[in-house]
Amino acid sequence: MPEYEFLLQIGLILTIGVIGSDVLKKINFPEILGFLLVGVFLNLFFIINGHEINLTELLDIVVAVTLGFIGFNLGSEIDWNTIKNMSTNIIIILLFESLLTFAAVTVVVYALSFPLHVALVFGALASATAPAGTAAIFWENHCIGPLTTATMFILALDDIVAIILTDLAMDYSTIVYSGHALNLTELFLPIVFDLSASFMLGITAGLLIVYALNRVEDHGRYVSLVVGSILMCIGVASILNISYILPTMVFGITVSSLCKKPDIDYPTKKVLREVLGLSSPKLMEIIYNKKKNGEFKTEPHQIFHEVFRISTPIIALFFILIGISLDLTSLFDIGLIGIVYMLTRTLAKSGGAYFGGIVAKAQPVVQKYLGLCLLSQAGVALGLAVIISEHFAQFGTEAGALGIFILNTITASTIIFQIFGPVAIKWAIDKSGEGNGQSC
Tally of domains in the chain:
2
Length of the chain: 440
Rg (CA), the chain: 22
* Residue 103: per-residue pLDDT: 92
* Residue 106: per-residue pLDDT: 92
Highest mean pLDDT among 80-94, 268-282, 396-410: 396-410
Q: Read out DSSP for 59-94?
A: HHHHHHHHHHHHHHHHHHT--HHHHHH--HHHHHHH
Res. 329 pLDDT band, cuts 50 70 90:
low
Rounded distance, CA 108 to CA 104, Å?
A: 6
Domain stops at, among 276, 296, 316: 296
Whether residue 213 is found in the same domain as residue 354: yes
Rounded distance, CA 342 to CA 165, Å?
A: 18
Inform me whether the pLDDT recorded for 228 exceeds 70.
yes
Whether residue 155 is found in the same domain as residue 283: no
Rounded distance, CA 246 to CA 326, Å?
A: 26
Q: Which residue has the higher pLDDT, 206 or 156?
A: 206
DSSP H/E element including 27: none
Whether residue 196 is found in the same domain as residue 251: yes
Whether residue 344 is found in the same domain as residue 423: yes
Inform me whether the pLDDT recorded for 107 exceeds 90.
yes
* Residue 278: per-residue pLDDT: 38
Whether residue 289 is found in the same domain as residue 398: no
Percent of the chain scored above 90 by pLDDT?
4
Inform me whether the pLDDT recorded for 91 exceeds 70.
yes
Inform me whether the pLDDT recorded for 172 exceeds 70.
yes
In this prediction, residues 324-345 reach a mean pLDDT of 75
Whether residue 83 is found in the same domain as residue 171: yes
Whether residue 284 is found in the same domain as residue 359: no
Whether residue 350 is found in the same domain as residue 237: yes
* Residue 270: per-residue pLDDT: 43
* Residue 272: per-residue pLDDT: 35
Residue 289: which domain range? Answer: 267-296
Whether residue 279 is found in the same domain as residue 247: no
- Fill in the amino acid letter for 186: E
Rounded distance, CA 268 to CA 271, Å?
A: 5
Percent of the chain scored above 70 by pLDDT?
74
Q: Read out DSSP for 252-307?
A: HHHHHHHSPPPP--S--HHHHHHTS---HHHHHHHHHHHHHTT-S--HHHHHHHHH
Inform me whether the pLDDT recorded for 385 exceeds 70.
yes
Whether residue 119 is found in the same domain as residue 183: yes
Rounded distance, CA 342 to CA 122, Å?
A: 11
Distances (CA, A) of 286 to 263, 269, 295: 19, 10, 11
Res. 397 pLDDT band, cuts 50 70 90:
confident
In this prediction, residues 182-206 reach a mean pLDDT of 80
Q: Which residue has the higher pLDDT, 120 or 60?
A: 120
Res. 51 pLDDT band, cuts 50 70 90:
low
Question: Which of 194, 216, 196, 214 lies closest to 206 in space, CA to CA?
Answer: 214
CATH of residue 10: 1.20.1530.20
Tens-digit pLDDT profile for residues 270-315: 433 433 333 444 444 544 455 455 444 444 456 777 787 788 888 7
* Residue 225: per-residue pLDDT: 83
Q: Strand locations in 339-404, DSSP E? A: none
Inform me whether the pLDDT recorded for 440 exceeds 50.
no
Whether residue 136 is found in the same domain as residue 153: yes
In this prediction, residues 225-237 reach a mean pLDDT of 88
Q: Count the alpha carbons within 13 Å of 235 in the hemisphere toward its beta carbon.
A: 7
SS3 121: helix
Domain stops at, among 296, 314, 343: 296
In this prediction, residues 256-261 reach a mean pLDDT of 72
In this prediction, residues 363-367 reach a mean pLDDT of 83
Question: What pTM does this model have?
Answer: 0.70
Burial 177-210 (b: 16+ CB within 10 A, else e): beeeeeeeeeeeebbeebbebbbebbbbbbeebb
Whether residue 291 is found in the same domain as residue 420: no
Mean model confidence pLDDT for the chain:
76
